[in-house]
Structure 1
Amino acid sequence: MRRFRFTAFVTSLLLAAALALTGAVAAQASQLAATGGYVALGDSYSSGVGAGSYIGSSGSCDRSTKAYPYLWAAAHSPSTFDFTACSGARTSDVLASQLTPLTSSTALVSVSVGGNDAGFSDVMTTCVLQSDSACLSRIATAKAYVDSTLPGNLDTVYSAIRAKAPAAHVVVLGYPRFYQLGTVCVGLSAAKRSAINGAADYLDSAIAKRAADHGFTFGDVRTGFTGHELCSGSSWLHSLNLLDIGESYHPTATGHSGGYLPVFTSVA
């Protein structure tokens, strides 16, 4: 009986601590919403390509009301919300056309960028249409770019963000793995699928390293998408879509609400 009571007492303490922590996180989010603005930068994985419900005024940038930045802003009501992420953006595009809303009063910034610099679209085109060897060769070229050039490009973007928004908490979002392995999957060979996943990991590792070196927080979405990759039977990613090729290999609306949003919310 004493052991039971002691266990129940400890359980109660742990539950109270968890509730207090949850309250602290909610209070922090409320404070952020009240004291500063939120700016969402980046490429199609932030603009919401593949999620539908695109904002008409965003044009070819395809910003979606179902993308994780829009969902977070709707839930937390920051004092200002500027959504400049754009489909197809590279690091140079972020620098050239997305940073204007950043100010000394910006409290929160999110950004996903680097995939287009590394040639993600061409990698997928090559792997879908050509042989295993051609796919692996193109991935090797992308990895070489990630080693040699991408870190400097990311440094330039991250330094520009910090210079324009010196007080902001900056969250850098990564990319998911695309395929569940070890399952029967029509289309790409197992070798291609494994290599594509490996390339995603390689890119995420490089981005996470540069983010950490700038004092930014890296939001790793790979765990959230586990069990929801292509070939899983419960995918949060579009496969090749010949009717809307731009949506191919991008998160669905559920991928944003169930994959990206929880990760961003946990570190914002």
Structure 2
Amino acid sequence: MRRSRFAASVTSLLLATGLALTGAATAQASSTAATGGYVALGDSYSSGVGSGSYISSSGSCDRSTKAFPYLWNAAHSPSSFAFNACSGATTDDVLAGQLGSLNSSTALVSISIGGNDAGFADIMTTCVLSSDSSCVSKINNAKAYVDSTLPGKLDTVYNAISAKAPSARVVVLGYPRFYLLGQSCLGLSDTKRSAINSAADYIDAAIQKRALDHDFVFGDVRSPFSSHEICSGDSWLHSVNWLDIGESYHPTAAGQSGGYLPVFTANAS
């Protein structure tokens, strides 16, 4: 999701107010990917923003050696690996700059995309800075976009992937719910937390439908993130990260290795 916009917005808030890899995952090999190449596409949830250990050559894309695509490649050694996911990517960005590594020998593709199209950064900025009603209104606007526009955007990306890599198994990863509700927890109100969780469910449902209609596989990460949301005792998601604002509301290294990686591994073959 878009790091720079959220970073700038939350930085202004701070100025104004003064204010982990499982054995089962590594054991499950993908015979399909072993005979062909693997290409990782998508936004910051695939590039690994929030997990640290960023690859210097990736620049502002913030690709991490602790992101699930990098971990999966290290464990399974496909014939080739292209790590193209980039922080801030939208569907248009994927089409414009991430598909060049796809070809007829590509056997496996992963992608997380759609959150930035639906305005993830604007939603979180509004919910952090503004009232409950403003937060809910922003989320309702995003849901309307998910209904009216996002499916066509996803169709265009998915069609392009299929055209360039017709033999590939494509795994579309969703987004986790952010908050464990019903807990005593500093930060946003229960109204905002519940609305944000509902937005995650809403976009996941839309992404899943489009993925399945294209005969792709949908990897649902909400279950492994259950009990590891913000406000839990063992969160796999950053809340507002004071040391690096851009990592806010992104998975930690444990969220990549314990949440995304097992889901992708289970669906990669």
Secondary structure at the aligned position of 2:257 is classed as helix
The alpha-carbon deviation at position 179 of structure 1 amounts to 0.2
2:224 equivalent to 1:224: yes
Tell whether the 8 Å contact from 2:28 to 2:266 is kept in structure 1 after alignment: no
TM-score, with length taken from structure 1: 0.89
Q: Percent identity?
A: 76
Code of the residue aligned with 1:261 in structure 2: it is L
Q: Distance in 2 between matches of 1:129 and 1:193?
A: 14
Aligned to 1:36: 36
Aligned to 2:52: 52
Q: CA RMSD in A?
A: 1.1
2:169 equivalent to 1:173: no
Secondary structure at the aligned position of 1:141 is classed as helix
Over residues 31-82 of structure 1, what are the superposed CA-to-partner deviations in whole Å (9 max), with x where a residue is unaligned? 2243100000000000000010001110000000000000000000000000
Aligned to 1:100: 100
The alpha-carbon deviation at position 242 of structure 1 amounts to 3.6
Over residues 7-37 of structure 1, what are the superposed CA-to-partner deviations in whole Å (9 max), with x where a residue is unaligned? xxxxxxxxxxxxxxx9xx946x1x2243100
Q: Distance in 2 between matches of 1:262 and 1:193?
A: 26
Aligned to 2:257: 257
2:164 equivalent to 1:164: yes
Highest RCO, 1 vs 2 (Cα 8 Å, sep ≥ 6): 2
**Structure 2: stretches of 5+ with no match in the other structure:** 1-23
Query: Structure 1 residues 232, 108: CA separation in 2 closer, same or farther (over 3 Å shift)?
Result: same
Aligned to 1:185: 185
Q: Distance in 2 between matches of 1:240 and 1:154?
A: 29
Code of the residue aligned with 2:228 in structure 1: it is H
Secondary structure at the aligned position of 1:99 is classed as coil
Q: Distance in 1 between matches of 2:33 and 2:140?
A: 43
Q: Distance in 2 between matches of 1:232 and 1:243?
A: 21
Superposed structure 1 runs of 4+ greater than 6 Å apart: none
Code of the residue aligned with 1:139 in structure 2: it is I
Q: Distance in 2 between matches of 1:50 and 1:189?
A: 23
Matches within 5 A, 1:115-264: 115-264=115-264
Aligned to 1:109: 109
The alpha-carbon deviation at position 245 of structure 1 amounts to 1.5
The alpha-carbon deviation at position 210 of structure 1 amounts to 0.3
| Segment drifting more, 234-243 vs 72-81 | 234-243
Aligned to 2:61: 61
Aligned to 1:19: none
The alpha-carbon deviation at position 233 of structure 1 amounts to 1.5
Larger Rg: 1
Code of the residue aligned with 1:47 in structure 2: it is S
Q: Distance in 1 between matches of 2:87 and 2:81?
A: 18
Code of the residue aligned with 1:112 in structure 2: it is S
Code of the residue aligned with 1:201 in structure 2: it is D
